[in-house]
Amino acid sequence: MAQPTRHPHIVVHSPALDGSRRVTAGDETLGVATHADDVAEFLRLADLYVTDVAESDLIEWQGGGPDDWPGLSEHHESPGP
């Protein structure tokens, strides 16, 4: 009987003062995210292909979910006229 594939414990940590969030796999820091797309890219680079980071059971979101990036919304808006 084949052993189930083991995946590292992925944590998107609580937002820092600037709104960014550290992403870890076990004891390894994968990067600092400013958007859920960054989380997906860090996982891809670590050969962990997750199609929907918001719904994945592999990811633990601490201090808010995938839509919580306090203080960063102004960085992702289009400039006005």
In a domain, 81, yes or no: no
Q: pTM of the full predicted structure?
A: 0.79
| d(C-alpha 40, C-alpha 23), whole Å | 10
Domain that holds residue 50: 10-62
* Residue 52 included in any domain: yes
Asked whether residue 69 is domain-assigned, the answer is no
Residue 79 lies in a domain: no
For the chain (81 residues), the mean pLDDT of every run of 10, in chain order, is: 66 95 95 96 90 91 93 54 54
- Positive or negative CA dihedral for 65, 46, 21, 74? negative
- Asked if the structure places residue 74 within a domain, the reply is no
